[in-house]
């Protein structure tokens, strides 16, 4: 049985004979992090580089605390090198570049499909790299959403990412159906932040005969909840529904086994945890069992429309090569400890204290069960978040706020460290003081 | 005054007389280059050397010379600033990470928007009518999902024979999506028997005759195979007179022909940017919708990028759709693709489509003149290779490309041309497509091409 995060922290602080909240614990965990060298594969902004940094408050020469990889991942060092190779190719051989070189443009993205497939737990023939996420979502739904008079509903989560919500609405309208009637939106229970798997499964069992498509996110962007994709897929299939997931926040974050879980289709963007740069080449997956129901090239390969840009293949290749030096399993192991460490410290300092009601507290919206989350924690503060966020930014922290009260922080295993987490907690304490919350 | 083949001829004749040399002399080409007001734009591009191109045979040609790049209709050359701009954005990504969405000279959250004005100028539209996104076929589908609204009586799509395959497949799939029959719903117009290109009068009369059943007229702007430039204004007018909607795939027309999409009342259009607009393989594509549809034609498929920028990131899941083509956006676009496109559009902005066309008419006219001079079919020498130019000779009916149909098989000729540092395109069994583009090709390029062609034909055994 794996040691729990709490047990690990306790053991280390005892070994070091220091407090559990000491920086020495973080440094120890970093020394023993097998993946720590992967950080060197990325370009990490210095605190002095970030626009909001206040150099009277922090040392600008230090690396920033970059917990915004759930929004835009950092740049792999090889991205520039590969891009320069392709620019050089374009400059010297022009149109011949379609067929020559290490990345012939006519099929450049195909060479990455195997690396991408590993990350999502699929076979290479089940994965394609193309377009942007919402475009791919639409292409998949055009084929997988085939409503009939009895079976026409789409099940999705409350507060789905806006693009998914708009996409689903428009797909319903395209079929001439009523949006309110056809969108089956599942919410958390009253007083809860996340959606229980048992509740998703029971909605499917109850209403499944009328559900054409179950379309949830893999990891919910707002709460950070990781859905039990295997159980949901199974429940959906038991009622004859097709099941797909928007894996934008799950890819490169959670351990996915899309093929083995029998997921029908999925799509994702690559600029978050897969670090391919803003607007990077998106992905799509279709289970091989559907391969010959499609015309053209079998399966998802036949969904391609346009020739893809080699400039986007380059940073994606650089990133996938880094993933390929480890495994999602190992990344997840570190991630569970890293996020668990963050959670431990948050709880230590900011659990609501009934005897000190004016003291700022944090309610962690994200499930505490590591199986039910990725690396992100969504932190709901007892005070307004805007000034706290601004003070954090002055101190070299990059993360995300959702007004009025929420901070989303994502320490990623590929390039964040336990020391980053400890520094964040220190900065948070300062930020709360400076914002007048303490 | 408009330039006609006659006046190209007159120009060549006048120059050769002034120089006291033959019309086919290199000195004519050099003279035309010296007087080309746009010649300096060539320096804005990276031109492969002959020794760089894989098929070059350095025993036949001097590898240190610029290649003869007539493949800009397939993949345009790289603007010099593409690399600089890309490096700026990579540096930004490396130093400020997620803040790059809102900071710098190309905030990623709206980077492509800043290019819409430059792009709109090139297609003759208003900035609000143009959007940069996705790839061409994706955009074609998005537009057709909104513009192709068949009814029991009006359900056909008019397109040209031998349309670009992606267009053909796209149209087929759009028809099938509506549950209609492909054969019945695709109205394909061909050239007349024995002709290579489609007469405008024939397109117009098909529309007049069958227009009540036509939902959509969807032709290319410039036909990729023949190089024919369609009379988009007349076709749009004819279509509207019968209640049809009219759209064009401008892949080969953008940055090549002078387009006035707005004034011609074209309903919608789309294009790729990696041909004459030089943005690199797979570059950011374009879409246009006439402003008259801004509030009546809605995108069928929606995504967060069609939401009003001011409130887009509030994430309340209540769509505030931008009017017109802006609302058709789905995904956030890649800044890496904005960079080369910006570099290219800035070069276009140093001149005008009008001036580019003026040079293009002379440049392609000069090529045509030399082809005709050497390769017009000679009944008295039947074994001599000849070239039939498929592309219309009227400059109004073509862009810069000429499609040359040889009397001999083209494959070996093409290979011999490639050995001599020529980049162009072949369509077996007999056709060569060559596109001297005004932005970076010269009259000397054309003359060198003709010389290489003569050698290539000899070497291939055709002569």
The band of B463, judged by pLDDT with boundaries at 50, 70 and 90, is low
Q: Which chain A residues contact residue B170 at CB under 8 A?
A: 305
Task: Give CA–CA dist B86/A277, Å, rounded.
Answer: 12
Q: Which chain B residues contact residue A52 at CB under 8 A?
A: 99
- pLDDT at residue B290 above 80? yes
Q: Which of A256-260, A395-399, B114-118, B303-307 has the lowest mean pLDDT?
A: B303-307
B299 a known binding residue?
no
Average pLDDT over every residue of A257-261: 98
Averaged pLDDT of chain B: 95
Q: Provide CB contacts within 8 A for B107, sequence distance 6+.
A: B100, B101
Nearest chain A Cα distance for residue B128, angstroms = 22
Between chains, do B330 and A142 touch, taking CB under 8 Å as contact?
Answer: no
Task: Give CA–CA dist B348/B258, Å, rounded.
Answer: 12
Task: Give CA–CA dist A194/A204, Å, rounded.
Answer: 17
Nearest chain B Cα distance for residue A344, angstroms = 26
The band of B141, judged by pLDDT with boundaries at 50, 70 and 90, is very high
User: Pick from B96, B136, B305: which is nearest to A50 by CB?
Assistant: B96
Average pLDDT over every residue of B256-280: 97
Predicted confidence at residue B382, as pLDDT, reads 87
Residue A284: helix, strand or coil by DSSP?
Answer: strand
Instruction: At A304, list the tokens.
Output: 């391609």
Averaged pLDDT of chain A: 95
A193 a known binding residue?
no
User: Pick from B69, B83, B302: which is nearest to A166 by CB?
Assistant: B302
Between chains, do A162 and B316 touch, taking CB under 8 Å as contact?
Answer: yes
Q: Does B308 touch chain A (CB under 8 A)?
A: no
Best of A311, A316, A319, A410 to disrupt the B interface (most B CBs within 10 Å) is A311
Q: Does A404 touch chain B (CB under 8 A)?
A: no
B167 a known binding residue?
yes
A246 a known binding residue?
yes
- pLDDT at residue A391 above 70? yes
Predicted confidence at residue A297, as pLDDT, reads 56
A63 a known binding residue?
no
Predicted confidence at residue B3, as pLDDT, reads 58
B276 a known binding residue?
no
- pLDDT at residue A294 above 60? no
| B-chain residue closest to A93, CA distance | B53
| B-chain residue closest to A79, CA distance | B90
Q: Does A74 touch chain B (CB under 8 A)?
A: yes
Between chains, do A311 and B103 touch, taking CB under 8 Å as contact?
Answer: no
Q: Which chain A residues contact residue B273 at CB under 8 A?
A: none
Predicted confidence at residue A221, as pLDDT, reads 95
Q: B197 near B390, Cβ under 8 Å?
A: yes
Q: Which chain B residues contact residue A138 at CB under 8 A?
A: 301, 303, 330
Nearest chain B Cα distance for residue A330, angstroms = 25
Average pLDDT over every residue of A295-324: 83
- pLDDT at residue A291 above 90? no
Task: Give CA–CA dist A19/A50, Å, rounded.
Answer: 32
Sheet containing strand A265-268, strands side by side: A127-129, A283-286, A265-268, A242-246, A211-217, A153-157, A183-186
Q: B331 near B301, Cβ under 8 Å?
A: no
Task: Give CA–CA dist A59/A50, Å, rounded.
Answer: 12
Give the tens place of pLDDT for each residue, B193-220: 999 999 999 999 999 999 999 999 999 9
The band of B1, judged by pLDDT with boundaries at 50, 70 and 90, is very low
Short-list B252, B400, B364, B359, CA closest to B5: B364
Task: Give CA–CA dist A22/A16, Å, rounded.
Answer: 10
Q: Does B101 touch chain A (CB under 8 A)?
A: yes
Task: Give CA–CA dist A181/A183, Å, rounded.
Answer: 6
- pLDDT at residue A299 above 90? no
Task: Give the rounded percent of residues in chain B with a pLDDT score beyond 70.
Answer: 98
Q: Does A251 touch chain B (CB under 8 A)?
A: no
The band of B164, judged by pLDDT with boundaries at 50, 70 and 90, is confident
- For the entire predicted model, the pTM comes to 0.94
B166 a known binding residue?
yes
Q: Does A309 touch chain B (CB under 8 A)?
A: yes
| B-chain residue closest to A311, CA distance | B336
Q: What's the residue count for chain B?
A: 463
Short-list B192, B271, B206, CA closest to B239: B206
Give the tens place of pLDDT for each residue, B399-450: 999 999 999 999 999 999 999 999 999 999 999 999 999 999 999 999 999 9
Give the tens place of pLDDT for each residue, A99-146: 999 999 988 888 899 999 999 999 999 999 999 999 999 999 999 999
- pLDDT at residue B5 above 70? no
């Amino acid at each position: 049985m794996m040691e729990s995060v709490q047990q690990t922290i306790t053991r280390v602080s005892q070994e070091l004979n220091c407090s559990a909240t000491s920086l020495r614990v973080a440094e120890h965990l970093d020394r023993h992090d097998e993946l720590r060298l992967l950080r060197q594969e990325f370009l990490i902004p210095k605190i002095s580089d970030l626009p909001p940094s206040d150099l009277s408050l922090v040392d600008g020469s230090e690396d920033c605390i970059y917990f915004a990889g759930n929004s835009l991942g950092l740049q792999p060092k090889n991205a520039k090198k590969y891009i320069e190779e392709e620019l050089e190719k374009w400059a010297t051989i022009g149109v011949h570049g379609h067929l020559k070189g290490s990345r012939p443009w006519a099929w450049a993205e195909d060479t990455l499909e195997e690396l991408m497939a590993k990350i999502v737990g699929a076979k290479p023939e089940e994965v394609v790299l193309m377009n942007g996420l919402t475009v791919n979502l639409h292409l998949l739904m055009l084929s997988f959403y085939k409503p009939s008079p009895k079976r026409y509903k789409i099940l999705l989560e409350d507060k789905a990412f806006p693009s998914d919500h708009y996409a689903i609405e428009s797909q319903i309208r395209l079929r001439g159906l009523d949006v309110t009637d056809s969108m089956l939106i599942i919410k958390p229970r009253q007083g809860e932040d996340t959606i229980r798997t048992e509740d998703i499964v029971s909605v499917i069992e109850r209403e499944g005969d009328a559900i054409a498509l179950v379309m949830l996110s893999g990891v919910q962007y707002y709460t950070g909840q990781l859905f039990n994709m295997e159980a949901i897929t199974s429940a959906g299939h038991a009622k004859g529904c097709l099941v797909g997931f928007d894996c934008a926040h799950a890819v490169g974050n959670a351990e996915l086994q899309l093929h083995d879980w029998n997921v029908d289709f999925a799509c994702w963007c690559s600029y978050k945890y897969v670090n391919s740069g803003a607007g990077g080449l998106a992905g799509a997956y279709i289970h091989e069992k559907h391969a010959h129901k499609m015309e053209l090239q079998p399966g998802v390969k036949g969904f391609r429309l346009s020739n893809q840009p080699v400039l986007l293949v380059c940073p994606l290749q650089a990133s996938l090569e880094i993933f390929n030096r480890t495994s999602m399993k190992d990344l997840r192991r570190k991630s569970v400890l890293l996020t668990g460490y963050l959670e431990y410290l948050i709880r230590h300092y900011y659990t609501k204290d009934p005897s000190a009601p004016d003291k700022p507290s944090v309610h962690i919206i994200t499930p505490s069960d590591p199986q039910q989350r990725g690396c992100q924690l969504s932190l709901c503060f007892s005070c307004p978040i805007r000034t706290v966020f601004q003070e954090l930014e002055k101190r070299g922290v990059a993360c995300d706020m959702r007004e009025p009260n929420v901070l989303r922080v994502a320490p990623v295993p590929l390039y964040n460290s336990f020391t980053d987490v400890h520094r964040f907690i220190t900065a948070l304490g300062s930020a709360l003081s400076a914002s007048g919350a303490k």
